[in-house]
Structure 1
């Protein structure tokens, strides 16, 4: 047991999002692994009885549909993946419902697409649904809606979805449970370049703790892997949510004293919902290129972006869309919500402040709607 303040914060979190990996609840040959799912529900129920609100982000829809459809491995083409998900989502929801029914818990299924988070109005609707399920003492089981999501419009994996849901719901902690027991400097099954086994990292307080870490991709049933878990953990921690990465087999300890796995410390101040949306959730619709002085003002001094600092515009964005900001070298340095249409900005490029019409005197992107990348 460690006395880490991060572990204490996770152990005492009032609202917690728990992401369950595909390998923890599905089996390639049988579909839903009911015995393993029941053990997970036992641990989740114990946490709820201890006073926490729990939201579950469950992978496994595609994995749960593989065996019933007679497939031998996880499909790679979009149509077959969506077909497997359409079968698996039903079976997965039924399994979660039946397991929680042992404790007279009601389960609500929430299927999200990336558009539900990147679109501001949809984002608010999803938030209200999840909040209302909590207030009605139902367990929300969230999954990506794989039956309609396309390769171009996906969260990428449910680790990222878990991080987004954690911020969306104002959760106090995020727990990522899968078939790995923590973050290692490399693949723990293989010797490192120096011939030594990979070392487990117990706590990540900042980027410097990740120096030299090599993260791999997913396995047979899931789309994630250590790379996606690391990315999701950093996303959540950056937004102000502490994270625990642990093995699903150790769910009991993970959800009681948080004494297992790897923890990621949260930034001291939580991002506002709007700034988080701009930075991590919103889809960008174009780009503005800015000069070196504007880069210094926006990135260095957190100032609003004014029109004279813009040198070029690309993309057909409109007022209210999120755009990327790139410096003279082409590197993206920030994202923000534009106050103008792309065509209107392009029409007055090169004008001095004194020559701008009165309609163009306000900032192109206000500092409150701008985040550094």
Structure 2
């Protein structure tokens, strides 16, 4: 084997289905409008990579790529006469409404130079934490890929409220990589990788590989991007890499200018090794993308049943309720000390819960009717939380596939 081949990252080189995320600062001008040359440069890299022959031993078949692209709000700033990203949600939504069309039109024209079609997919966290919506999102993306199109994914900023927002496209990209069962996630920004301090400070070094959380102990991670048009910084990228790696998807974090090298498997940027196994199911989305609308307090027996035996939550195990939520909303499950132990989709409105507390399903069915002879949270709609908030440990069931 040639020395150049030995230097490649095999998992990256052989990846067949890839998710690439590009940040706003890598696509826009300082004034906030789209930079056509930057968009074209990215598309050039992607199109050439998709056209490249499959590597020997990679299982054959062509490559597929999903592009998670920021830039809609940034692209809408200049056309609306805004000189910076607005802080209020209403003007952010207005900018996204204008900018999303400009962004997709630019991608459509750019990919057309290579005979490639694109498809726009706009998501909110509410679309993907619920079972039927999750399946529909997967089928849409999978079909677009099967038909040779490049899905352009973004958060649906025009309708997303604070309660159903992903918060940043780095996290969205990690979850999309899980959703489409990707072999690789590439996070592109204006920084060439993760450093052990401020990259502008002399003496700091690039961290070339991360095999687990211990490799980042004591590392000072910046929280803001340089361009000021996006929402994320290095913190969100590392968090996204952790989510993807824990779901069995390796991650390359580097700059947009090194995209071609990153996709080819050359040792650029920071490489996050897998730390968990690949799984099918939407529970990762429930853990990382949903915002709880309230909480259910569990007695000690119910906590043991849910956490240790992985059972559904029954009314008899309830000790209290917090917040105002509707059936189908995500809620936290807490112990009596207030520590969140799980998150799930609740089957009852908050106003119904008080009459259920501590009672058996048989008694409830006899008094209130058969609709009350069911779980408060079904185990297939429930994910356990580790010590770090929103990290799933539950097995994904067949109902999620």
Q: TM-score range by the shorter chain?
A: 0.7 to 0.9
Does the residue aligned with 1:26 lie in a helix, a strand or coil? coil
Q: Could you tell me whether the CA contact under 8 Å between 1:246 and 1:262 is conserved in 2?
A: yes
Query: Which of residues 158, 168, 182 is equivalent to 1:171?
Result: 182
Cα distance in 1 between the residues matched to 2:334 and 2:314? 14
Does the residue aligned with 2:282 lie in a helix, a strand or coil? helix
User: Which residue of 1 is the match for residue 262 of structure 2?
Assistant: 254
Q: Could you tell me whether the CA contact under 8 Å between 2:181 and 2:280 is conserved in 1?
A: no
Does the residue aligned with 1:140 lie in a helix, a strand or coil? strand
Cα distance in 2 between the residues matched to 1:354 and 1:88? 54
Q: From the superposition, tell whether residues 286 and 268 of structure 1 become closer, same or farther in structure 2 (CA, over 3 Å).
A: same
Can you list the C-alpha shifts for 1:269-299, whole angstroms capped at 9, x where unaligned? 2233132233233443431222344434433
User: Which residue of 1 is the match for residue 59 of structure 2?
Assistant: none
Q: From the superposition, tell whether residues 107 and 353 of structure 1 become closer, same or farther in structure 2 (CA, over 3 Å).
A: closer
User: Which residue of 1 is the match for residue 204 of structure 2?
Assistant: 198
TM-score (norm 2): 0.80
User: Which residue of 1 is the match for residue 231 of structure 2?
Assistant: 223
Cα distance in 2 between the residues matched to 1:8 and 1:226? 25
User: Which residue of 2 is the match for residue 14 of structure 1?
Assistant: 16
2:303 equivalent to 1:291: no
Q: Please, which runs of 5 or more residues in structure 2 have no aligned partner?
A: 53-61, 386-401
Shift of 1:250: 0.1
Cα distance in 2 between the residues matched to 1:128 and 1:249? 32
Worse-matched range after superposition: 144-153 or 246-255? 144-153
Q: Could you tell me whether the CA contact under 8 Å between 1:22 and 1:59 is conserved in 2?
A: yes
Q: Could you tell me whether the CA contact under 8 Å between 2:128 and 2:282 is conserved in 1?
A: no
Can you list the C-alpha shifts for 1:201-224, whole angstroms capped at 9, x where unaligned? 222222222212333133412111
2:59 equivalent to 1:47: no
User: Which residue of 1 is the match for residue 126 of structure 2?
Assistant: 115
User: Which residue of 1 is the match for residue 250 of structure 2?
Assistant: 242
Q: Could you tell me whether the CA contact under 8 Å between 2:312 and 2:379 is conserved in 1?
A: yes
Can you list the C-alpha shifts for 1:223-252, whole angstroms capped at 9, x where unaligned? 111111122222222223222111111001
The count of residues paired between Structure 1 and Structure 2 equals 367
User: Which residue of 1 is the match for residue 216 of structure 2?
Assistant: 210
Q: Could you tell me whether the CA contact under 8 Å between 1:28 and 1:73 is conserved in 2?
A: no
Cα distance in 2 between the residues matched to 1:167 and 1:198? 32
TM-score (norm 1): 0.86
Query: Which of residues 367, 378, 383 is equivalent to 1:371?
Result: 383
Shift of 1:84: 2.8
Cα distance in 2 between the residues matched to 1:140 and 1:308? 46
Q: Could you tell me whether the CA contact under 8 Å between 1:8 and 1:258 is conserved in 2?
A: no
- Pairwise CA RMSD of aligned residues? 3.0
Does the residue aligned with 2:152 lie in a helix, a strand or coil? strand
The equivalences for 1:255-274 within 5 A come to: 255-274=263-282
Q: Could you tell me whether the CA contact under 8 Å between 2:250 and 2:273 is conserved in 1?
A: yes
Q: Could you tell me whether the CA contact under 8 Å between 1:57 and 1:143 is conserved in 2?
A: yes
User: Which residue of 2 is the match for residue 23 of structure 1?
Assistant: 25
Cα distance in 2 between the residues matched to 1:32 and 1:87? 12
User: Which residue of 2 is the match for residue 67 of structure 1?
Assistant: 78
Worse-matched range after superposition: 208-217 or 54-63? 208-217
Q: From the superposition, tell whether residues 91 and 304 of structure 1 become closer, same or farther in structure 2 (CA, over 3 Å).
A: closer
Q: Please, which runs of 5 or more residues in structure 1 have no aligned partner?
A: 192-196
2:192 equivalent to 1:181: yes
Worse-matched range after superposition: 63-72 or 219-228? 63-72
Cα distance in 1 between the residues matched to 2:87 and 2:357? 46
Can you list the C-alpha shifts for 1:135-185, whole angstroms capped at 9, x where unaligned? 211111112232333344322111122122222222222111011111223
Cα distance in 1 between the residues matched to 2:120 and 2:362? 56
Cα distance in 1 between the residues matched to 2:383 and 2:21? 27
User: Which residue of 2 is the match for residue 153 of structure 1?
Assistant: 164
Cα distance in 2 between the residues matched to 1:345 and 1:78? 32
Does the residue aligned with 2:114 lie in a helix, a strand or coil? coil
Worse-matched range after superposition: 178-187 or 145-154? 145-154
Q: Could you tell me whether the CA contact under 8 Å between 2:24 and 2:74 is conserved in 1?
A: yes
User: Which residue of 2 is the match for residue 36 of structure 1?
Assistant: 38
